[in-house]
């Protein structure tokens, strides 16, 4: 009898404790632990985090029935997909007084006109990362995608280049280089881009999702197609390790992909109130800046600028100026037939 009572109480307590939990499904390495701790203190709740390493993984897991997440942090095109699936809760903007901190440039995207569902969180650019000394020594241009696509440059870089192992990203870079939009869905253009990629492939060391950072730091790889925050990290690591070279990033003149990640509420989340509290918390400049200072990600929060370390704020590949912004594009979602065709093209690229 007593044990029954004890078990009952325990269950109740467990339930109570469980209720004050915010479930966050976020990218790997995309929030500072200190920020989370401060929020936990402020709300008197617990934050449980799960991680994904790309949008596709997140979408696939959600499609496979993962539920119970209050907040997701998808990139624009993934968010578009989620909105169209009616998987998100509309935001109660009255609970988000700090929304005014966001730079209007990043609001009202084609994915979510009027920001009914999303609040910008951070952004990254997919750019060129390079070993400054090596590229200078070899006389290579670092302001154009040609350095990873043209054999005349690649010859000097054989085995020293990596590209992202992402169908959309690599295609986007190729399309931009050829002068098309990154969101071009013309199959002929895709074929043209894929032929160019196949021509360049023999010179590339690998298609890498993330370990390219280390290689850049160590000096094995000299040019990468990668994310701005990763390259920023590589630069810092190289400095810390006392390397004799520097790592820098540049936005190629043909343009690049801007990935804006936003916080959204998944409709299966049990605590939308906590979620809104969290979003408003993250909209405070001081909190938002912590991530940027940690990993060098772009920050759409104007209030955050005064908290960001000056060397990062100055970095053009993290905070592009107006001119560069005009050359950036956000990727749109593809429909199922386009996904299938792209998948086939990607298979061919991998296999040739």
Partner 1 sequence: MRRGWGLWAAALGVYAFLYAPLLIVIVYSFNDSRLNAEWVGFTWHWYGVLLHDEDMLQAIGNSLFIAGVSSLAATVLGTMAGIAMHRYGMKVLTFMVLTPVAMPEILLGVSLLLFFIQVLNLTLGFVSIILAHITFSIGFVAVIVRARMAGIEESIFEAARDCGATPWKTFLYITFPLILPGVVSGALMAFTLSIDDFVITFFTAGVGVSTLPLRVYSMIKIAVTPEVNAVSTLLMLLTLTMIVLATRFSPEVLRGKA
Partner 2 sequence: MNSKVRSFFSRARLAKLTVSGPPFVFLLLFFLLPGIIMVIASFRYPGEFGGLAPIVSATPETLHGLTLETYRFFFGDAIYARVLFKSFLVALATTLICLALAYPLALLIARSPKKRRDFMVLLVILPFASSFLIRVYAWMILLGPQAALSQALNGVLGALGMAPVHLLFSPFAVLAAMVYVHLPFMVLPLYTNLEKHDPTLLDAAQDCGANAWHRFWRVTFPLSLPGIYSGSALVFIPVLGMFAIPDILGGTGDMLVGNLIKEQFLVTRDWPFGSTLSIMLTLTVLLCVWAAAKLGSTRGHYA
Task: Assess contact for 315 and 232: CB atoms under 8 A.
Answer: yes
Out of 81, 118, 301, 317, the residue judged to bind partner 2 by CB under 8 A: 81
Q: Which of 225, 215, 28 is nearest to 146 (CA)?
A: 225
Say whether residue 239 binds partner 1 (CB under 8 A): no
Q: Residue 43's binding partner, choosing from partner 2, partner 1, none, with beta-carbon cut-off 5 to 8 A by kind?
A: none
Per the DSSP assignment, residues forming a β-bridge with 27 are 52
CA dihedral 302, 295, 29, 346 (to 10 degrees): 100
Residues 195 and 76: their CA atoms lie apart, in Å, by: 28
Out of 51, 207, 245, 281, the residue judged to bind partner 2 by CB under 8 A: 207
CB of 98 to partner 2, least distance (A): 31
CB of 196 to partner 2, least distance (A): 15
CB of 257 to partner 2, least distance (A): 17
Residues 345 and 194: their CA atoms lie apart, in Å, by: 7
Say whether residue 205 binds partner 2 (CB under 8 A): yes
CB of 204 to partner 2, least distance (A): 7
The owner of tokens 């001119």 is 323
Strands 21-27 and 46-52: parallel
Residues 229 and 317: their CA atoms lie apart, in Å, by: 9
Out of 19, 37, 56, 311, the residue judged to bind partner 2 by CB under 8 A: 56
Q: Which of 329, 341, 77, 151 is nearest to 349 (CA)?
A: 341
Out of 103, 210, 293, 316, the residue judged to bind partner 1 by CB under 8 A: 210
Dihedral sign computed on CA atoms, order 277, 283, 284, 288: positive
Say whether residue 188 binds partner 2 (CB under 8 A): no
CB of 335 to partner 1, least distance (A): 21
Say whether residue 343 binds partner 1 (CB under 8 A): no
Out of 38, 46, 61, 199, the residue judged to bind partner 1 by CB under 8 A: 61
Encoded tokens for 198: 């196949």
Please identify, among the stretches 94-102, 117-125, 205-213, 309-317, the one whose residues bind partner 1 according to the rule CB under 8 A. Answer: 205-213
Encoded tokens for 180: 């098309």
CB of 48 to partner 1, least distance (A): 8
Following DSSP, what letter does each residue of 83-125 receive, concatenated? HHTT-EEPP-GGG-GGGGGB-GGGSS-TTSGGGSSEEEEEEEE
Say whether residue 201 binds partner 2 (CB under 8 A): yes
Say whether residue 242 binds partner 1 (CB under 8 A): no
Task: Assess contact for 96 and 280: CB atoms under 8 A.
Answer: yes
- Comparison of 7 and 218: residue with beta carbon closer to partner 1: 218
- Comparison of 52 and 130: residue with beta carbon closer to partner 2: 52
CB of 251 to partner 1, least distance (A): 25
Say whether residue 344 binds partner 2 (CB under 8 A): yes
Helical (H) or strand (E) element with 82:
helix 76-84
Which residues have CB under 8 Å from 20's CB, separation 6+? 43, 44, 45, 46, 271, 274
Out of 3, 15, 28, 41, the residue judged to bind partner 1 by CB under 8 A: 28
Residues 131 to 170 in contact with partner 2, rule: CB under 8 A: 159, 167
Out of 220, 268, 302, 316, the residue judged to bind partner 2 by CB under 8 A: 220
Say whether residue 211 binds partner 1 (CB under 8 A): yes
CA dihedral 132, 215, 73, 296 (to 10 degrees): -40
Strands 223-227 and 118-131: antiparallel
Residues of the shown chain interacting with partner 1 in the complex, contacts defined by CB under 8 A: 25, 28, 50, 52-53, 61, 63-69, 209-211, 214, 218
Residues of the shown chain interacting with partner 2 in the complex, contacts defined by CB under 8 A: 56-57, 59-60, 63, 81, 84-85, 159, 167, 201, 204-207, 220, 335-336, 339-340, 342-344, 347-348, 350-352
């Amino acid at each position: 009898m007593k044990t029954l009572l004890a078990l009952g109480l325990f269950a109740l307590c467990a339930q109570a404790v469980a209720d004050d939990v915010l479930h966050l499904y976020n990218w790997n390495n995309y929030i500072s632990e200190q920020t989370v701790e401060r929020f936990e203190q402020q709300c008197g709740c617990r934050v449980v985090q799960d991680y994904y390493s790309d949008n596709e993984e997140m979408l696939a897991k959600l499609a496979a029935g993962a539920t119970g997440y209050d907040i997701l942090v998808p990139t624009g095109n993934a968010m578009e997909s989620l909105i169209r699936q009616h998987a998100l809760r509309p935001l109660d903007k009255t609970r988000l007084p700090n929304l005014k901190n966001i730079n209007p440039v990043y609001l009202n995207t084609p994915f979510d006109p009027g920001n009914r569902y999303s609040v910008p969180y951070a952004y990254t650019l997919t750019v060129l990362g390079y070993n400054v000394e090596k590229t200078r020594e070899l006389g290579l241009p670092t302001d154009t995608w040609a350095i990873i696509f043209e054999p005349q440059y690649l010859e000097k870089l054989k085995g020293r280049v990596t590209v992202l192992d992402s169908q959309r990203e690599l295609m986007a870079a190729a399309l931009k280089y050829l002068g098309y939009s990154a969101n071009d869905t013309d199959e002929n253009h895709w074929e043209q881009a894929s032929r160019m990629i196949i021509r360049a492939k023999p010179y590339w060391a690998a298609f890498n999702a993330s370990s390219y950072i280390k290689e850049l730091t160590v000096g094995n790889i000299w040019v990468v197609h990668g994310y701005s925050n990763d390259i920023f990290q590589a630069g810092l690591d190289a400095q810390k390790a006392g390397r004799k070279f520097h790592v820098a990033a540049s936005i190629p003149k043909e343009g690049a992909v801007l990935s804006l990640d936003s916080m959204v509420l998944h409709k299966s989340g049990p605590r939308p109130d906590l979620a809104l509290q969290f979003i408003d918390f993250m909209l405070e400049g001081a909190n938002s800046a912590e991530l940027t200072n940690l990993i060098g990600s772009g920050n759409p929060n104007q209030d955050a600028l005064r908290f960001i370390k000056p060397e990062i704020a100055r970095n053009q590949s993290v905070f592009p100026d107006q001119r560069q912004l005009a050359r950036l594009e956000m990727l749109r979602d593809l429909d199922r037939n386009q996904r299938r065709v792209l998948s086939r093209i990607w298979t061919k690229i991998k296999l040739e």
